[in-house]
Amino acid sequence: MTDAAFVISAYAVIIGGLALYTAVLWRRLSAARRDDEAR
């Protein structure tokens, strides 16, 4: 693969960032729901 470092950097940040954001969103949402149930 030519320019592999650039291709991998682009995909890693975009797909990895998407996965990370989704995971953080899940955590925040489940924490908010737990908070709601505790109330």
Closest contact distance (angstroms) between CB of 31 and other proteins is 9
> Helix H segments across 1-39?
4-38
Site for other proteins contains 32 (CB under 8 A): yes
23-29: long-range contacts (C-beta < 8 A, 24 or more apart)?
A: none
Owner of token pair 């592999």: 4
Site for other proteins contains 37 (CB under 8 A): no
Give the binding site for other proteins (CB under 8 A).
Answer: 1-4, 6-7, 9-11, 13-15, 17-18, 21-22, 25-26, 28-29, 32-33, 35-36, 39
